[in-house]
Structure 1
Amino acid sequence: MNHTATSKFMRFVEARLTPGGEFGLHLTAGAALMMAAVAVFAEVAEDVAENDGLAAFDQHVSAWMHVNAQEPYTSAMWLFTHLHSVAGMCVLVALAGVFFWRSVERHGRYWLLALALSVPGGMLLNVALKHIYQRARPVFEEPMLTLATYSFPSGHTVAATLFWGLVASYAVMSAQRWRVRCALVAGAVLMAVLTGVSRIYLGAHYPSDVLAAMAEGCGWLAVCITACSTLRRRRAGKAARGMKMEG
């Protein structure tokens, strides 16, 4: 590689790692997260198709949870499941939408766009993936929950991952104190994890369904947030260049 090519490559790398650039660090981080999520999803999907790896333990984990189900855990699991059902997500998304719309922060409208793209779009993507893989749900002699739809990936889990992942992203970008950021991110992760656990506990999904849904949600969320951030930065850049020309 000659000096000119090396210089071009270094400029390209520097641009990709620049925090404030239109196609800088945010795009690099988003692409990295998306590729990592796709890799995890592909690995889990392969295990499910071959009934190997993680999928080989699915029956054992699901059966153990079903046998050991008891109060007050059962009621708590039902709460998380209902909260992240289609009806529950409509309420959560509506509340978040109102918050972003009325946000005093000047970037609130872009977060509203990210919310509109990520949660409904991710849930539709999940329906498509269910019909592609067509995995049957767990079967028990005395089921707590019976559903006729496919199992892989978990719809409730992907909805929770998308919504609370967006909340965590907003917290990281908006909160001033690190303690507040860490607390909100930990709370968001806990909500997504408990939703996934509730689906396994109630016998609606296998562990691999939940893990794949989390990977799917992280990947789709990375796409949506990165796209909205790029749009905002490009518009801000054009506005700044326009002001300089006028000046």
Structure 2
Amino acid sequence: MSSTVLQGLRRVLLPVTLLLAVMVTLGMLVTRVFAGSWPFTLEPGVNSGLAAERTSGWNDVSLVFSTLASTQMIVVVTVLVALFLRLRLHRWREPLFLCAAVSAQALIFLLTTMAIDRRRPAVEQMDVSPPTSSFPSGHTSAAVALYLGIGLLLVLRARSTPAKVAWGSLLLLVPVGVALTRMYRGMHHPSDVVASFVNGGTCVLIMARAFLDRGIRWGRSMLSPGQAADADRGVVGQPAAS
């Protein structure tokens, strides 16, 4: 195994392991240490207030956002976007980055729910509860990793500041909408979705550093010299030409 691959693995495995430890620690603090302290004592009131404000219109809107972050949709969108990136850019950096970010958050989510046992909010739940803990929100974490990851790639390739702001804002709105939706539908506490932003957002940062960095040449041995030169242009802070 080459030194560049080993360096890349260190950039992935160590940070992801540390993030898992952080997520489990946060879960213990929220559910055990500070469960009876402010601001976590406010969460039941927030949950009840959101449930009391449900209307047929908002129910439909919340279903749309919740569907955007369902497991099936996340898998389909990730695969399709990764294939598009590979065919459009003719390099592996961006597809690997997106797939790795989504996969890492899913692994951390599953392991965290195995360590942290938290009940769903004590309100009527509009969805069937999956057999996982309420902490953290899997829908929110996946939405952050996928849509924020896509947004980062679009921002890096945009040539103008207004375009960067527009793409970044648009893709950030999706995970925010998903987070609000999961609370509205009675599936998660506010701290669950906040922790999910930590999980998904950090995974995007970790994988951006590992896969979009010029110093890490993932898959270079599989590329021709011309393709390898093209791959070097797809780096953080240096958008590749369209």
Please indicate the TM-score interval, normalised by the length of the shorter structure: 0.7 to 0.9
Contact map agreement 1:54 1:208 (CA 8 A) in 2: no
The AA in structure 2 aligned to 1:82 is T
> Contact 1:37–1:215 (CA<8 Å) still a contact in 2?
no
Q: Is 1:143 equivalent to 2:137 in the alignment?
A: no
Distance 1:120 1:153 in 2: 16
Q: Compute the displacement of 1:38 (Å).
A: 8.6
Residue identity in the other structure for 2:187? A
Counterpart CA distance in 1 for 2:181 and 2:158 is 30
Choose which of 211, 224, 233 in structure 1 pairs with 2:207.
224
More helix by share: 1
TM-score normalised by length of structure 1: 0.74
Corresponding residue of 2:106: 123
Alignment partner of 1:181 is 2:158: no
1:108-155 per-position Cα deviation (integer Å, ceiling 9, x unaligned): 410111112110221121011011111111132x43224142100000
Q: Which residue of 1 aligns with 2:86?
A: 101
1:79 aligns with 2:64: yes
- Distance (whole Å) between structure 1 residues aligned to residue 167 and residue 205 of structure 2: 18
Match of 1:14?
A: none
Which residue identity lines up with residue 81 of structure 1 in the other structure?
S
Displacement of 1:71: 2.1
Structure 2 unpaired stretches of 5+? 1-6, 219-224, 230-242
Q: Is the 8 A contact 2:145 2:201 kept in 1?
A: yes
Amino acid at match of 2:38: G
The CA distance in 2 between the partners of 1:86 and 1:234, in whole Å, is 30
- Give TM-score scaled by structure 2 length: 0.75
Q: Following the alignment from structure 2 to structure 1, what is the Cα–Cα distance between the partners of residues 176 and 42?
A: 18
1:47–1:53: 8 Å Cα contact kept in structure 2? no
Match of 1:168 in 2: 151
Equivalence for 1:48: 31
Instruction: Report the structure number with the largest CA radius of gyration.
Output: 1
Paired residue for 1:206, among 189, 196, 201?
189
Q: Deviation of residue 37 (structure 1)?
A: 11
Partner residue, 2:46: 61
Q: How many equivalent residue pairs?
A: 206
The share of aligned pairs that are identical, in percent, is: 22
Does the Cα contact within 8 Å between 2:27 and 2:135 map onto a contact in 1?
no
Letter of the structure 2 residue corresponding to residue 64 of structure 1: G
Structure 1 residues 75 and 99, CA, compared in 2 at 3 Å: closer, same or farther? same
For residues 87 and 132 of structure 2, the distance between their equivalents in structure 1, rounded to whole angstroms, comes to 38
In the other structure, the counterpart of 2:140 is: 157
